[in-house]
Structure 1
Amino acid sequence: MRTPNHRRFGGLALALVLVAAVPVTSPATAAAPKRTTTDITVTEGTNLAVAASPRDGTLVFDLQGRLFSVPAAGGTAKPLADDFLDPFWPTFSPDGSTIALQSFADGRSRIATIKADGTGVRQLSDNPFDAVQPAWSPDGRKIAYATGPDGAKDLWQIDARTGAMELLSTDPVDESAPTYTPDGRQLTYLAGNEVRNLDLASRTRTVVIPGGQGFLAAPSWSPDGKRLAVLRTGQGGRTLSVWENGALRPVAAFADVFPFPARWTSKDELVYGADGKIYRTNVASGATVGVPFAATLTIARDDYPRKKYDFDSRDPQRVKGIVSPALSPDGRTVAFKALNDLYLLPVGGKAKALTDDDFYETDPAWSRDGKLLAYASDKGGSVDLYVRDLATNAERRVTSGTGSEIGPAFSPDGRRLAYQDNNAQTWTVDLASGMQTRVLGPQNAPGRVSWSGDGTALVQAVSVNNANHILVLDVASGAQQTFSPGTSISTRGDDGPVISPDGRWTVFSQDGVLWVTATAPNGRPTGASRRLTTEASDAPTWAGDSNTVLYLNNGRLKTVTLAGRTTDVPQDLTFQRDNQTGRKVIHAGKLWDGRDPTPRENVDIVVVDGRIVAIEPHRDRPRRAGWTYVDASKYTVTPGLIDMHNHQQIKAKSFGDRQGRLLLSYGITTTRSTGDPAYRSVEDREALDSGARLGPRLFATGEMLEGPQVGWDFARPVRTEQQLELEWTRVRELGYDLVKTYETFPVKWQAAVARKAHKLGVPTTSHYLYPAVGHGVDMKEHIAGPSKWGFGFARDSSLGGPYQDVLQLAGQSKMPFSTTIFAASSLLADDPGLVTDPRVRALFTPQDKQVLNAKLLCAQGRGPCGFLDGNAEQARRQVQVVKKIVDAGGVILAGTDAPLDTTALALHLNLRALAKYGLSPFQAFQSATLLSARQLGVEADLGSVEVGKLADLSFVEGDPSKDVGVLANVRSVLKHGRLFTVDELLGPFRG
C-alpha cells in the first residue's frame, strides 16, 4: 500500500474516501454575463487586402476579418455583411456588381460571392478541401481558384451563375494564386516559386517568370497585358514589383506590402495595402499616394462571475478522470486509470487499486481469456510495457527500451502485443521470445491499435487530409488501406476504432457519439456505419460477447449493446485535496513579491496550513514545537511561476512521473492546458490535486473545439450545432477550467461558445484577435501562431506590424496574448549551461535531450534549425511586437506551447527574451505571475506573495529583478506550502 514512508516524498499520502462526493470547485451562477461594448475607429490596418471596383473605383478591403468599402478617394469606411462572413482575398467582378472572396463562415474556406452593397452572400464551391484565392475571368462568367491538400493544390474554376465546377490543372507542383490574362485565354498562377501560364484551350503550360527571383506571390495582370504585378519577399521584406520586358523591377518603396494581389485601376496604376495603409502607385512614374480611411470595429467584453475554486477544502470529490477503461472479456470487471494508478472495478462492486504505487501507469489491456492485463509504466525508469497475471499477481516487464512503449493490445491468440513507441511507430512483440518487430513507421499522433478478428491486421485512427480515418494494416505484408467512416473520428486516442472479439464489428466515436460498422475478419469495414449512442461517448471497448460496448459519458462508465440498450456501471472513487497542514517560517534574503518592482530585503514569510498569514521584517524567533523553519537567507523568494499555454498530455506518456517534477524544479507551480485529451487532462488535474502525482496545479481543459477539419489528435471536430450542444455537456460535467476553440472553428459558433462558457464562469480562448474580441472571447494564444491560413499569415501580425488596428483592439480590450516565442531558444547561445543542467540530465527523456542539444547548436549557428526554431533576430522582432502591445495598454502572458517547445526551460527562455529585447524585468516577471493569475480568475489565491494567498513560492539564487535569467536558478519550491528541494525532485531519476 502507499504510505508516507513508502512514497518518494513523505506526507503526500492519497486519501480515498468512499463517501458522497462534495465538489470543491463550482461554476458560477448560470446568469447571462454583463456585456460592455466599445467602438474603436482605426486608420491603419494589419495585413488588409484591397480590391477596386471597375465601375466607380470604390475600394473594398478586408480589415481584421471584416469587410469594408470606402470611396476611391478615401474617407469613412462602411462595413459590409456581418462579423461572421470571415472573408479573405476579395476581388471585384469585371462589371463591379459583385465581389468574390473566400469565406470561412462554416469552418472550411469556400468560394463565395457578395453584392457590392454587402447583401446577397452566396456560397459557390463545395470541394472537399479549402477553396482559396478567387479570380474573375474577364467576361465575369467564371471564377478561378485553388483547392486541394496543403502543398498539393490544383487549379479549378467555377461558373458564377450555375456553380458548376471544372478542374483545370493538376500540375504536380503546388499551384496557387490564379489570375486570368486580360484576353481570358490563359490562367497565370504560381507553381512552387515559378510563375506559369496555363492555356485554357490546349492545357499546355509555359513559364512567365522563372524561379530564382526571390519568393514570389500574388500575380495580377495590367489591363493591357503588358505588365504583371507580383510580390517579392527577400531579406529586406516584401516589396511590390512588376514583370515587364522580361525583367522584374520594384515599383514601390514599402517593405511590408501585404500578401494579396495588388489591383490594377488602370494600365499604369495599382492599389494595394502596405505599412498599415492603402496606397496607389503609378508604375510608370513611381508616384505613390495614400488613400485614407477610418473604419470602426467593436470590442465586446463580458463581466461574469468566475468559476469558484476552494483550494483549502478537504471535502471528498467524485473522480471523473477515468482514463482508458477496458472491459474484461467476461464483462464483469473494468480496468482503468485514475488518480495515477490502475484500478479494477467489479461491475456492481467497489474499485480497488491494482498498482497502488507512486509510478505512472496507463493503457490497461486485457488478454482474450481475461487472465492477463498489459499496461505501460515508468517503474523501471522509462515507460515500458508490463504483463500481469491477475490470478497470481506475477508480473514481467515486456519491453525495456530507452524511449517509451505505450498502448498495448493483445493479439487474439494472446501470443503478441501490438503497441506504439514515443516516435508514433507501431510494433509487435512476441511474448515468448521477446522479439520486437516494427510494422508501421511514424504517423501523425495515431490512435491506439486494435487487432482484427483473424489476427492478421491492426487498425487505428490516423490523420489523412485533415480528418481522422481508419487505417487497416496487414501485419505480415505491411500493406495499408485507409477507410473514411463518412467524416472524421472524434479524436485519435482512445476513441477507436476498436474491433469486436469475433471480428464482425468495429466501434468508434464520431460526432461525439458511438457508431458501429460491420467488419470483415481482416479488419476492413464492409458496410455503412450506424449510431449506437446519443450522448457524449468516448473510449469504447468490447466485452467478449462482441455485443456489449463499455464507454465513458462525461466521467461516468456505461455499457451499450448492439441493440442500443444502455446500462450504468457505477464507480465510487472519490479523492480529497492533498493540502498541506502545519506551520512554517521562511527567512527570505530577498522577496520579489510580484506586486512591487523592487524586492524587499530580509523578511520572514509565515505560512499556516499552506497559506501566507504574515510577511514581516526578519527577526530571530524562538523555535516553537511543531513549526518548520526554512533558511532562505541566501535566496530571493518569488511567487511560483505560471505557464499559461501548455499541453501536458502530448508527451505525458513518454515523460511519465518526470514531467511534474521537471516543472516544479524550475519554479513552475501552476500550468494551464490549452488543449488536451479530456479524460487524461481531468485525471492529471485530479491526481495532482490529490497528491497522487507530483507536479504543479493544473487548470485543465479538454480537446480543442475544431471545425470539420482536424489536425491535432486532441482536437475534436464539430460539424453541427446539435453536436456543439452535446460537446457542451463535456465542458460542464467534466468541469473544464477553459474552453479553447481552434483554427477552423466557425466564428459564429465561437461567439456562442463564449456566451455559454461565461454562464459557467469559464473563460474562452482562441488563435484569433478579431472578431473574437468583438464577441466576448477572453484571450488570444500566440503572438504569431498557426491559423486557418497556415503558419505564414495572421491578421494581427505582419512583417512590419502590427499596426493601429491590432494595437487599439488589444490595448482597449485588455484581451491578453500568450507569448509562446519559439525563437527564444536562440538565447541558449547566451547560456549553454542550461543544456547540461542536472535537472535536464535527470528528468528529460533521451529524445528531449537530443532535441535540446539540437536547439543549442541551432542557436550557436553550428547546426540545422528545426521547423519551430528561430534565430535571435526573430526573437527580437516578436518581442518588439509584444512591446508595442504592452505600450498600447495590452496584456501579455507568458506561455510556452510545451512540449512543442522545451518543457519548463521554454518558460524561462520566453522571460529572458522579453527582458532582453524590450520589456523590463518586472514586466516579464508579472507576465508569468500576477497577470496570469488574474486571467485564471484566481488572483485572490495565486500570482504574488501576499498575506492570504497560497504559499506557492520559488527560492532562486540571485536577484531576478536585475536579471530574470536567475529565475531558473531554483533551489527549492513550495506548492501550497509543501516544500521540495531540487535534489528531492530529481529523486530516483538522478543519474
Structure 2
Amino acid sequence: MPMRTPRPFSSLLPLLVALLVVPLEAVSAQSTSSAAAAGAPGVRDVEVVALDPESDEAKTLAEGLPLRPGRLLRMTVSEGSWMSVDVSPDGQTLVFDLLGSIWTLPIEGGEATPVTRGMAFDAQPRFSPDGSRIVFVSDRTGGENVFMIAKDLSDTTQVTRGNTNSYQSPTFTPDGRYLVVTRQAGAGQGKLHQYHVDGGTGTTLISEPANLRTTGAAFSADGRTIWYAQRTGAWQYNSALGDYQLATYDRETGDTRTETSRYGGAFRPTLSPDGRWLVYGTRHVADTGLRIRDLATAEERWLAFPVQRDDMESRATRDAYPGMAFTPDSRYLVATYGGKLWRIPVDGGEPAEIPFTARVEQAIGPEVDFQYPIEDTETFTVKQIRDATPSPDGTRLAFSALGRIHVQEGESGTPRRITNLEGNQHAPVWTPDGRHIVFVNWDFGEGGHLWRVPVGGGTPVRLTTESAFWQQPAISADGARIVAIRGPASAYVEAITQGAPGGAREMVWIPAGGGEATFIRRAPGATSPHFVRGETERIFASGSGGALISFRWDGTDERTHLRVTGPGAVGGTGSPPASLVLMSPNRERALAQVGLQLYTVHVPDVGGDGPTVSVANPDGAAFPVRRLTDIGGQFPTWSADGSKVHWSIGNAHVVYDLEAARAHEAAVEAEAPADDPSDAPADPDDPADEPEEAAEPAPRADDAYQPLEYRVRVEAELDTPRGVVLLSGARIITMRGDEVLERGDLLVRDNRIAGVGAAGSLEVPEGTEVIDVSGHTIVPGFIDTHAHLRAPFNIHRDQPWSYAANLAYGVTTTRDPQTGATDVLTYEDMVRAGRTLGPRIYSTGPGVFSGERIQSLDDARSVLRRYAEYYDTKTIKMYGAGNRATRQHIIQAARELELMPTTEGSLDLMLNLTMALDAYAGVEHNLPGFPLYGDVAQLVASSWMAYTPTILVTYGGPWAENHFYATEDVIGDEKLLHFTPFEEVQQKALRRPGPGPGQSGWFHPSVHTMDLVSDFVDQVVEAGGRAGVGSHGQLQGLGFHWELWATGAGRMTPHRALKVATLLGARSLGLEGDLGSIETGKLADLVILSGNPLDDLRSTNTIRYVMMNGRLHDGDTLNEVWPSPREVGPFYWQTEGPAPAPAAGMR
C-alpha cells in the first residue's frame, strides 16, 4: 500500500505512525484489446496485446530462454516495487530495476530508459567505479548468473557460470577489478564470494560457520573493509527479529567483527564515498527505518522513517532491503520506498522525490486458462485402483477401489466386488493356490482385522482375534502363515495426522487359518514384508535407508542384502534412498522405488552387508540396473515367478515383462546400422574436432520397449439428489457483478439451480417443497483454493473429520495444492459416490519437486502426463522444481496438456515475479516484500496468475492465525468441537509456543501484516486479476472464515472479499462454468447465513444451512434437511473427556 513521504525522525509523531491509504480507482485491463485503459494504482495506459510466439519479436524477447512470450503487457508506471537503485560516479544518472528489467534515469528524474528488456529477470544493478559498466543478476541463461553490460549497451559479459546457484547484491571493488556478490549454492547459505571481472570461479570470503548467511557487501573508501549483513540460517517463521546484524570483514587479515546488536536487526549497509557515513536499515516497532552513523564519532541518528518494509522475515532473495547509494559528494542518499525514488539529505532535511515514469513493455508467457466442466452423469469411472496384485498364474488382478476389494479377469474383464463388509478394505494378497484373497479392513464400529474371502466372492472369514490397525499383509511361500504390520486400534481412532499410528507398529504373524498373533519385531525399520521361494526360514522386508533386509521368524539374524540410492535434485548434493525395495520371488533381482520411478537391480551375493547401488545412472551402475518408468508408478509388485513387474498409476495397470524387454532391445540393436568411423568420439585435444552443435539425436519412440498397460474401469453411481425445492425470501448475493437481491427466491432442481429472482417472480412447479429463509442471506458455496485436508494415508476412513468440518462451515469446494500422496483421488471419488460427507475435492496431487530432475520439455511432458492422463487432477503444483528454464519447460508442458498449474511462493518475491512472467496459473502464499505497488499488481493481474495469499501463515510477517487464536474463544466453540477432535483443538488453542527458544508465538496487534497483504489482494482484483481464499488447513472449516476475514482486513469491501471466496476462486480453478455464483444452470452449492456479511464480514460464520450439490444440510450438525431428511453421526471423533477427579485439593 502506498506510503507517505518519510521525514527526519525527530519530527515524527511518537511510536506508531499510521500509513496513509490511497483509494484505488483502477479498472480491469484483462483483455487483449488494443485500447489503453486505467490500471492498478500508479499505473496507466494499460493494454495486453497478443504476440505470436513463433514471431521473430517473440524469439528476441525470449532472450534464449525456452519459453516464447505470447503477450505483451504495455503500461506506464510512476511507481515500482522493491527497486534497487544506484548513482553513477559522475552523479548524473540513476540505474534501477523494475519488474525484472534494468532502467536508467537522469538524477533529477523524468522518463526512464530501458537498459534490458525481455523474458529474463534482470535485477540489482550497480555501476562500476568508472561508470562504464553496470553489473546485475539475470536468469537469461536458464538459471541465475552475474552479468555486466556496458552503459552504452555495446556489449554484455557473463561473469559467473552454471545454472544452479543464486546470487544477490553484486558490487564492484573500489578499483573495479573484482566483484563481490552473495552466492548461494543449492540449499546452502548465501556467502560473500569474490570474482574477477574477467571470469574464473572466484573464492568464498567467509566460509564458516556453514549456517551463516552473509549478504549486501559494501566497501570502505580505501577498499580494505567490507561491511555486510549476517544472520544464522535462511529465515524463520514468526520471527522475533534481530536475526540480521551488521559485520565487517578485513580483506588483509580475513578477520570479521560484528558491528551491531539491535533488536530490530541491521541490514543493507551503505557507505558514503568520502568514508564518513554509514546508512543501514533496521526495524522500529512495526516499520522499517534508515539509521545513519558518523563513522568518525560512532554517533547515530534516524535518517528516514518509515521507509520500505524490509524482507528480514522471509528468504530475502534480493537482499533484506533494496539497494541504495550516496551521491558522489556524499551529501545525499538515494533510496526507494513508497514506490518512489527519493533523494534524502544527510543533514536531516526533507527528502525530495525523484519523479519518474517508465513505459513498460513487458513480455509474458502465453495464457494458460482452461475450463473444466462438471458433468451430470448417472455413473462415473473411479480414478484410482490401489494395492493391485496379480494372481499366482497371472490371469487375474486383485485390487482395492473406493475402499472395496475387487477382482478382474485379464486386461479386458469387468471388475467385480468380492466382499460385502462395511467400512474400508485394503491391501489384498493372494493365497499361493490362487483360490482366496486375504485383506485388511477398518470399520469404526468393529475396528480393524485381517480377513480371507474366496476369489469368487462370498462371506469373508475373520482371521484375527483382536481388533487392531492392520497393514501390509503377506503370505508365506508355503501358505502356512500370514505376516502383517499391526498397530493399536486406539492410535488410529485418535490420530489427527495422516500417518498414524507411527512408532507403535509391530510385525506379527498368524496361522493362515486364523488365530492368535505372534510377535516378530518392531515395525519401524522393516516394512512391506514379502517372501522368496525356497527361503522358508526368512522374511524379507524393505528397510530404512533404501535397504533390502531379511530376518528370521523371531526377528533375529537381520541381514542387509542391498541398499539402493537414486538421483538427487539437479545441482543438489546427496543421493536419496529408495523408499521401497522388494526382492524378486526367484531372488535374482530387487525392485526399487525412488520417488515415483521404478527400477530393477541385480542382487549379488557378496557376503556381509550387501552393496549400495545407485540407480542415478543405470548404464554406469555397479550392477545391472533397469529403469522401468518415465511417467512413474505406484504400488509396485512382482509376478509370482519374478519374470514381470506390475504397478498401477491412477486407474491404469502396467505389466513390464523383463524377458520381453530384453528381447525387444536385442532386436532393435541387431537392426541398428553398423558404427560409422566418422561417428567416433571427438578428440578433446584436437580443435578441429569441435562440432558447432554436439546434440545427440533423440531416439525414435518405437525404439523403446512398451510394457502392457490397460485401464481398470470400476463404475460407481454418482450421488445426485432428486426433487425440487424453493428457498424463499432471502437476501441473495449472486456474484453476478454487484447484484444483490434484497428479497429473493432460489429454485433448485436436483443438483442445479433452476431459477433465481426477486421473491415471487419465479415459476414454481407443483409439488415443490418450499423452505422459508426470510431474514437470511444466501451466498455461493465457499471455495477454499488452498485446503490441506490431511485425510489418512493408505488405510482410509469413510468419514474424515476434516471433510465434515469444512462442509459444515460452508466450504463446498476445496483444492489441495500438494497432497503428498495420491490417496486424495480415492477420497474425491468417495465424496462423489456419496460415501463421504464433504466438499467437492480437487487437488494437484503430489507436488512436482526438484527430485523429478526435469531438464527438458520432454522430461516435463513425461512428468505432467502423470497428472493429465492418470490422476486427472486438472492442475499441478510446481514446487521448487528447478531453475527458470525448468520452470518454463513445465509451464510449456502444462499448456500442451491443458493443465492449470499453481506454484509454491517459497518466500521469494523474485521467484514469484518470474512465475507471473511465465504465466503460471496460480501462486500459493503471499508475495513477500510488502507493501507492493501497482507495477506488480498489474503484472499479476494481466498474467492471470491466481493469487491465494494464505494469510493465516503469512510469508514475511507474523502468521495471522496467531491473531485469531489470541482473540477468539476457540476452545469454547461448540460447533468447532462438534466437528473437530478435541486433541486437535487443545493442541492448537491452549498454548501457542514459538518454534524455538527466543522465538514468538504471540504478536502485538501493531506488528501484524494482514492489512498489508489484504490491500495487495485488493489491488490485484481491482486490476482485473484473480485471487482465492486458502486456509492452508490451519484449522479445518473455521480456518476458512479466519482467512476470509484476514483477506478483508485492509481496504477491501466485504462484497469483494466474498467474490474472492466464491466466484474468483472458481475462476482460478477453471470451474467458473459450474461454480462460484448463483445463476441458473450452475450447481446448487450454497451457504445460507443468519447474518448479513455485507454489513459485517464476520457474519460468514452465522451458517444456518449448507447446500452442496443440491443436498441441504443443517449447519450445526450436517443432518440432511432436503431431499432425504436424516440424522448423521455421531462421529468417531466425538469422545467423552475424563471424569472429574473427586480427590480433595484438586482444582
- Give the TM bin, normalised by the shorter chain: 0.7 to 0.9
> Match for residue 336 of structure 2?
273
> Match for residue 850 of structure 1?
986
Q: Which amino acid aligns with 1:825?
A: E
Q: 1:235 aligns with which of 261, 278, 285?
A: 285
Q: Percent identity?
A: 21
Q: Does the aligned pair in 2 maintain the 1:498–1:540 contact within 8 Å?
A: no
- Between the aligned partners of 1:654 and 1:290, the Cα distance in structure 2 is 63
Taking the TM superposition and a 5 Å limit, the aligned residue runs for 1:264-343 are: 264-266=326-328, 268=330, 269-283=332-346, 288-295=351-358, 296-298=360-362, 306-314=370-378, 317-323=380-386, 325=388, 334=397, 336-343=399-406
Deviation by residue 1:472-530 (Cα, 9 ceiling, x = unmatched): 9999999999986232499x9998443435495352346x7544456688576235542
Q: 1:533 aligns with which of 628, 635, 649?
A: 628
Shift of 1:678: 7.2
> Match for residue 568 of structure 2?
487
Taking the TM superposition and a 5 Å limit, the aligned residue runs for 1:384-783 are: 387-389=450-452, 393-396=461-464, 417=485, 422=497, 428-431=505-508, 432=517, 439=524, 459=543, 485-488=566-569, 496-501=579-584, 502=587, 505=590, 507-509=592-594, 513-517=597-601, 525-529=612-616, 530=618, 532-533=627-628, 535-539=630-634, 541-543=636-638, 548-552=644-648, 555-561=651-657, 564=661, 566-576=706-716, 578-595=718-735, 600=741, 604-615=745-756, 628=769, 630=771, 632=773, 635-648=776-789, 656=797, 657-658=799-800, 659-677=802-820, 679-706=822-849, 708=850, 718-734=854-870, 735-743=872-880, 745-747=882-884, 750=887, 754=891, 757-758=894-895, 762-766=899-903, 767=905, 770-783=913-926
> Match for residue 166 of structure 1?
203
Q: Does the aligned pair in 1 maintain the 2:449–2:464 contact within 8 Å?
A: yes
Summarize the Cα distance change of 1:411–1:282 in structure 2 as closer, same or farther, 3 Å threshold: farther
The SS at the match of 1:311 is coil
**More deviation, 410-419/581-590:** 410-419
> Match for residue 874 of structure 1?
1009
Q: Which amino acid aligns with 1:642?
A: I
Q: Does the aligned pair in 2 maintain the 1:60–1:70 contact within 8 Å?
A: yes
Q: Does the aligned pair in 2 maintain the 1:439–1:478 contact within 8 Å?
A: no
- Between the aligned partners of 1:482 and 1:168, the Cα distance in structure 2 is 39
The SS at the match of 1:251 is strand
Taking structure 2 as the reference length, what is the TM-score of the superposition? Answer: 0.68
Structure 2 residue 1025 is matched with structure 1 residue 895: no
Shift of 1:254: 4.2
> Match for residue 670 of structure 2?
none
Shift of 1:723: 0.6
Shift of 1:177: 0.7
Structure 2 residue 246 is matched with structure 1 residue 195: yes
Q: Does the aligned pair in 2 maintain the 1:385–1:408 contact within 8 Å?
A: no
Shift of 1:765: 3.5
Q: 1:141 aligns with which of 165, 178, 198?
A: 178
> Match for residue 1110 of structure 2?
977
Shift of 1:215: 0.8
Shift of 1:416: 6.2
Taking structure 1 as the reference length, what is the TM-score of the superposition? Answer: 0.78
- Between the aligned partners of 2:114 and 2:429, the Cα distance in structure 1 is 58
Shift of 1:623: 12
The SS at the match of 2:1095 is coil
Shift of 1:135: 3.8
Shift of 1:174: 1.2
Shift of 1:956: 3.2
Q: Does the aligned pair in 1 maintain the 2:118–2:363 contact within 8 Å?
A: no
Q: Does the aligned pair in 2 maintain the 1:705–1:718 contact within 8 Å?
A: no
- Between the aligned partners of 1:494 and 1:824, the Cα distance in structure 2 is 37
Q: Does the aligned pair in 2 maintain the 1:251–1:283 contact within 8 Å?
A: yes
Structure 2 residue 1049 is matched with structure 1 residue 962: no
Q: 1:76 aligns with which of 86, 111, 119?
A: 111
Q: Does the aligned pair in 1 maintain the 2:730–2:745 contact within 8 Å?
A: no
Summarize the Cα distance change of 1:825–1:366 in structure 2 as closer, same or farther, 3 Å threshold: farther
Structure 2 residue 308 is matched with structure 1 residue 256: yes
Shift of 1:39: 0.3
Deviation by residue 1:604-645 (Cα, 9 ceiling, x = unmatched): 533223222234676899999976554545754432211122
Shift of 1:111: 4.4
Shift of 1:733: 1.5
Q: Does the aligned pair in 1 maintain the 2:868–2:874 contact within 8 Å?
A: no
- Between the aligned partners of 1:808 and 1:697, the Cα distance in structure 2 is 31
Deviation by residue 1:738-786 (Cα, 9 ceiling, x = unmatched): 34434455445655655654565543444466444445444443333xx
Q: Does the aligned pair in 2 maintain the 1:257–1:273 contact within 8 Å?
A: no
- Between the aligned partners of 2:476 and 2:157, the Cα distance in structure 1 is 55
Summarize the Cα distance change of 1:883–1:112 in structure 2 as closer, same or farther, 3 Å threshold: same
The SS at the match of 2:156 is coil
Summarize the Cα distance change of 1:816–1:225 in structure 2 as closer, same or farther, 3 Å threshold: same
> Match for residue 4 of structure 1?
none
The SS at the match of 1:698 is strand
Q: Does the aligned pair in 2 maintain the 1:459–1:471 contact within 8 Å?
A: yes
> Match for residue 672 of structure 2?
none
Q: 2:444 aligns with which of 380, 385, 404?
A: 380
Structure 1 spans left out of the alignment, 5+ residues: 1-30, 441-446, 462-469, 711-715, 785-793
**More deviation, 568-577/617-626:** 617-626
Summarize the Cα distance change of 1:770–1:153 in structure 2 as closer, same or farther, 3 Å threshold: closer
> Match for residue 246 of structure 1?
298
Structure 2 residue 186 is matched with structure 1 residue 124: no
Q: Does the aligned pair in 2 maintain the 1:34–1:303 contact within 8 Å?
A: no
Counting matched residue pairs gives 914
Summarize the Cα distance change of 1:282–1:195 in structure 2 as closer, same or farther, 3 Å threshold: same
Shift of 1:804: 2.8
The SS at the match of 1:876 is helix
Calculate the aligned-residue CA RMSD, in Å.
5.0
The SS at the match of 2:950 is coil
The SS at the match of 2:831 is helix
Q: Does the aligned pair in 2 maintain the 1:751–1:775 contact within 8 Å?
A: yes
Q: 1:802 aligns with which of 929, 932, 936?
A: 932
> Match for residue 215 of structure 2?
177
Q: Which amino acid aligns with 1:189?
A: Y
- Between the aligned partners of 1:430 and 1:979, the Cα distance in structure 2 is 46
Q: Does the aligned pair in 1 maintain the 2:119–2:364 contact within 8 Å?
A: no
- Between the aligned partners of 1:896 and 1:375, the Cα distance in structure 2 is 38
> Match for residue 1057 of structure 2?
924
Shift of 1:43: 1.5
The SS at the match of 1:169 is coil
Summarize the Cα distance change of 1:185–1:651 in structure 2 as closer, same or farther, 3 Å threshold: farther
- Between the aligned partners of 2:715 and 2:835, the Cα distance in structure 1 is 10
Shift of 1:907: 1.4
Deviation by residue 1:528-550 (Cα, 9 ceiling, x = unmatched): 54252364122252315555332
Q: Which protein is bigger by CA-based radius of gyration?
A: 2
Q: 1:910 aligns with which of 1043, 1053, 1067?
A: 1043
The SS at the match of 2:707 is strand
The SS at the match of 1:313 is coil
- Between the aligned partners of 1:649 and 1:50, the Cα distance in structure 2 is 45
